[in-house]
Chain A
Amino acid sequence: MAKVITITSGKGGVGKTTTSAAFATGLAQRGHKTVVIDFDVGLRNLDLIMGVERRVVFDFINVINGDAHLNQALIRDKRVENLYIFPTSQTRDKEALRKEGVAEVMAELRENFDYILCDSPAGIEHGALTALYHADAAVIVTNPEVSSVRDSDRILGMLASKSRRAERNEAPVEEYLLLTRYSPDRVAKGEMLSIADVQEILSVPLIGVIPESEAVLKASNTGTPVILDLESSAGRAYQDAVARFLGEQREMRFLKTERRSLLRNLFGRA
């Protein structure tokens, strides 16, 4: 049965789109037919992160309004089989995501895909609420930083009260915490909230920790989901997170400070 996973955070700039692209790619790589939908109407960016910006013809709003069929709007990924990208519209009409229209599209996607990923916009307005409404599971992307943790807590409250599952008194949305931009060095120095700190505050099971990595910017520069960069710690950490989501047991990696030689410590960073 199809499963809708919403990637959300409340706060902007914490890595929702990067995570959506990575998770969708990872799930497709493991043989699951996956579509990733951009819910950020007016601020379309998933297409750029996925590197398909020049192939957008029809979008989510066109399909909701009946101006295009679903299969005309879905972009098939050329790198990974089973992966489709569903871009959003650049319209400035914030209410373009009509509730019934979105529900119809989601129902059609549920019939055709194993996993439907919803890349939520930041905030707690219409777009974000629409993205979380249909969720069966939610990945809460959080930076180890006060404003991000607080906003994640707020979004967890929304998931518990405003989702379709909550409305229908069904089993609650499965929640998973994904810590991103984590710097073991800074945690060791007491400058950054640790994994344990964030978990204690939010009490949501941890699905992965993505270390701060130069590979993320490099990946967005080239329009390649970072999970395909297996040389990078971020790419491998995303692979682990997807594996855990699918029920595999994997130990958390990249959590220790890199050992530097005594000479390096004394004479500054090389």
Chain B
Amino acid sequence: MSLLNFFRKRDPSAAIAKERLQIVLAHERAGRHAPDFLPLLQKEVLAVVAKYLDVTDDMIKIHLERVGETSMLEINVELDQARPKPAKIGIKPGIVAKEA
């Protein structure tokens, strides 16, 4: 430590490191117990819904929750912006998705 460093303010980077780690690990730990097939399930459900409605990736949320002995699979499809696809897949023009 030289004379210059002696008077310099202490570098708080360790505190930043700790905070960043706590945030990222809280997120990663939450996703850890999800089974491996969930992302694939989400993709396939999206593909099916997309056949009939104009949906994007972020409009479908899938959660698997386990409380004691019961597992609950929750699939949420956001429809308020989804438009029915045009006639080429055979949906009658009169059918419109109800707003969520």
Q: Please say whether chains A and B are actual partners in one complex.
A: yes
A residues whose Cβ falls under 8 Å from a Cβ of B: 145-146, 149-150, 153-154, 157, 161, 187, 189-194, 197, 200-201, 260, 265-269
Q: A157-B29, A266-B3 are in contact. Are A201 and B14 (CB under 8 A)?
A: no
- Are A191 and B6 in touch, CB under 8 angstroms? no
- Are B18 and A190 in touch, CB under 8 angstroms? no
B98 within 8 Å of A (CB atoms): no
Pull 6 A–B residue pairs with CB atoms less than 8 Å apart, ordered by A.
Answer: A146-B20, A157-B29, A191-B13, A201-B21, A201-B22, A265-B6
Given A146-B21, A268-B1; 7 other pairs, CB 8 A cutoff: A145-B17, A189-B10, A190-B13, A190-B14, A190-B15, A265-B6, A266-B2
- Are B18 and A197 in touch, CB under 8 angstroms? yes
- Are A153 and B14 in touch, CB under 8 angstroms? no
Residue of A154, A194, A260 near B28 (CB, 8 A) is A154
Most buried by B among A157, A189, A200, A268: A189
Interface of A is mostly: helix
B88 within 8 Å of A (CB atoms): no
Residues of chain A within 8 A (CB-CB) of B12 are 190
Residue of B11, B18, B32 near A189 (CB, 8 A) is B11
- Are B28 and A266 in touch, CB under 8 angstroms? no
Please report the total number of B residues contacting A with Cβ < 8 Å: 20
A190 to B11, CA, bound (A): 6
- Give the distance to chain B from A55, nearest Cβ to Cβ, in Å: 42
Nearest neighbor of B15 in chain A, beta-carbon distance: A190
A200 to B25, CA, bound (A): 12
Q: Count A-B contacts at CB 8 Å.
A: 52
Q: A157-B29, A266-B3 are in contact. Are A191 and B11 (CB under 8 A)?
A: yes
Most buried by A among B17, B21, B24, B29: B21
Within 8 A of A (CB), among B27-66: 28-29, 32
Residues of chain A within 8 A (CB-CB) of B21 are 146, 149-150, 201
A187 to B12, CA, bound (A): 10
- Are A191 and B29 in touch, CB under 8 angstroms? no
A70 to B61, CA, bound (A): 52
Residues of chain B within 8 A (CB-CB) of A189 are 10-11
- Are B25 and A146 in touch, CB under 8 angstroms? no
Nearest neighbor of B12 in chain A, beta-carbon distance: A190
Q: A146-B20, A149-B21, A150-B24 are in contact. Are A197 and B29 (CB under 8 A)?
A: no
- Are B28 and A153 in touch, CB under 8 angstroms? yes
- Are B18 and A187 in touch, CB under 8 angstroms? no
Residues of chain B within 8 A (CB-CB) of A192 are 14
- Give the distance to chain A from B39, nearest Cβ to Cβ, in Å: 17
- Give the distance to chain A from B77, nearest Cβ to Cβ, in Å: 30
A145 to B11, CA, bound (A): 15
Residues of chain B within 8 A (CB-CB) of A269 are 1
A194 to B12, CA, bound (A): 12
- Give the distance to chain B from A256, nearest Cβ to Cβ, in Å: 16
A85 to B39, CA, bound (A): 43
- Are B32 and A157 in touch, CB under 8 angstroms? yes
